[in-house]
Amino acid sequence: MKLLTDRFKDDARNDEGFTLLEILVVLAILGLLVGLVAPAALRQLGNARVSVAKQSIARIGSVLDMYKLDTGSYPSTEDGLDALVHRPGTSEGWNGPYLKESNAPLDPWNHPYVYRAPSEREGKEYDLCSRGPNGSAGGESALICNQ
């Protein structure tokens, strides 16, 4: 009987857990995976937000077109996108609200869109732009605007 209990004690000592080396190898592998996968995932997230911004600008552009059909013109720069939610004082034929939100829409980074009517770009009736991730684009080329 004594031999049997001694044998179980030896087995218990050998199966106590992972060695420090095994834990370090697993941590190194996890670190490599995170180092390789995380930047690609974050890049995709940034690209997805740009895509959502472009789609939102197109959707808001359609809503602005409906506004123009009802009132005869796009909202002024002073009225802004808020005219799609709240009736501007000078607007005849306003048939809104044109958006379900209670406030003017925000871009995917929770910054207000830049709206100008008439447009400062050639061939456009209005400008509807997002300033991108930091909310203060470093110039016209960094803006995400209506096409």
Q: Is the peptide bond before 88 cis (omega within 30 degrees of 0)?
A: no
Structure tokens at 32: 């490599």
Cβ-based burial of 67 (10 A; exposed 0-12, middle 13-18, buried ≥19): buried
Read off the pTM.
Answer: 0.65
Q: How long a stretch of residues is the chain? A: 147
Locate the domains of the chain by residue range.
34-89+96-145
pLDDT digit of tens for each residue in the chain (147 aa)? 555 555 555 555 556 788 899 999 999 999 988 888 888 777 777 778 888 889 989 999 999 999 999 888 888 888 888 888 888 887 788 887 888 888 888 888 888 888 998 888 888 889 998 888 776 655 555 788 887
Q: Which CATH superfamily is domain 34-89+96-145 in?
A: Glycoprotein, Type 4 Pilin (3.30.700.10)
